[in-house]
Amino acid sequence: MSSTPVIVGVDDSLTSRVALAWAADRAAGTGAPLTLLHLSGVGAEAVPVKSTAILAGAERWVHAHHPGLATQPMTIRGDALWELLIASRTAGLLVVGRPGSHRASLVAALVRRASCPLVVVRPDRTGERRGVVAGVRGPVDEQVLRQAVRLAGTEEPLTVLRCTDDPDATRTVVDLSPLLSNPGHTRVMFRSDAQPAAARLVAASGEATAVVVGHRRRRGPAARGLHSCAERVVQRATCTVVVVPVDSAPDEPAGVT
């Protein structure tokens, strides 16, 4: 059981409802509390009555499907990005729906700056998707692998995609094999590919329930304007994407993350 909350952004959109269902399932499965977060806008844009109704509806849905799950509704007013970044400092997961054009820049900023894993949920309209894909590059990607293992649980197959030609990456994956040796997994596969990392992960998203990828939070002027692999995967993948933040030095070269 975890005391670190799963935080999900809620509004009255279809994508938000899909994200709420994903977050509630995850919180119930791990024993974590669920925080329902609604951005009500700033100044004249804020509508308290609407915010209260949206949160009440979300709570009713959660309790109907997951009786006993601890929930905390929360309305935040102010700059959406800043408030979500603050929330990410105390969250185990920050969950949002697939962004429309008006929210794409917000989600891209969360990919770059969130302090906890960010989950961008996409609906599985076919019901035929199966498996978790983890994109790894090197030694620090243990965090990515751990998140992928937790997400796969004991039912989903797990594919580890080594998106690099660095020979040290192979040794790293082998060293971490005890972490992945869960007999409940139906398949653990290691693949190498010469394609660009983002393209390979987007292709893999066609059949997966989720793709897990790291994002190295670069510091300093060199980070400005840099579109990472994680951002491209979030933009183009057809399944849910989990972005795991990994700290790095300002001059570290870009890779799968």
Residue 113 within a domain:
yes
Residue 1 within a domain:
no
Residue 25 within a domain:
yes
Q: Is the pLDDT of residue 190 over 80?
A: no
CB neighbourhood size of 201 (10 A): 28
Q: Is the pLDDT of residue 225 over 50?
A: no
Segment 80-104 shows an average pLDDT of 87
Q: Are 50 and 78 in contact (CB under 8 A)?
A: no
Going through the chain in order, the beta strands assigned E by DSSP cover 6-9, 34-39, 71-76, 93-97, 118-121, 132-136, 158-162, 188-192, 210-217, 240-247
Tokens found for residue 71? 């929930």
Segment 79-95 shows an average pLDDT of 93
- % of the chain exceeding 90 in pLDDT: 42
CATH of the domain at 54: 3.40.50.620
Range with the lowest mean pLDDT among 57-66, 162-171, 193-202, 205-214?
162-171
Mean of pLDDT over the chain = 79
Q: What is the pLDDT at residue 146? A: 85
Q: Is the pLDDT of residue 81 over 60?
A: yes
Q: What is the pLDDT at residue 193? A: 57
Segment 226-253 shows an average pLDDT of 77
Q: Are residues 140 and 111 in the same domain?
A: no
**Residue 83: domain span:** 6-121
Residue 255 within a domain:
no
Q: Are residues 70 and 43 in the same domain?
A: yes
Domain boundary among 89, 121, 153: 121
Q: Are residues 64 and 85 in the same domain?
A: yes
Q: Are residues 111 and 175 in the same domain?
A: no
Q: What is the pLDDT at residue 36? A: 97
Q: What is the pLDDT at residue 189? A: 60
Specify the number of domains making up the chain. Answer: 2
123-152 pLDDT, tens per residue? 876 667 788 998 887 655 778 888 998 888
Q: What is the pLDDT at residue 182? A: 54
Q: What is the pLDDT at residue 95? A: 97
State pTM to two decimals: 0.84
CATH of the domain at 199: 3.40.50.12370
Read off the amino acid at residue 228: S
Q: Are residues 91 and 158 in the same domain?
A: no
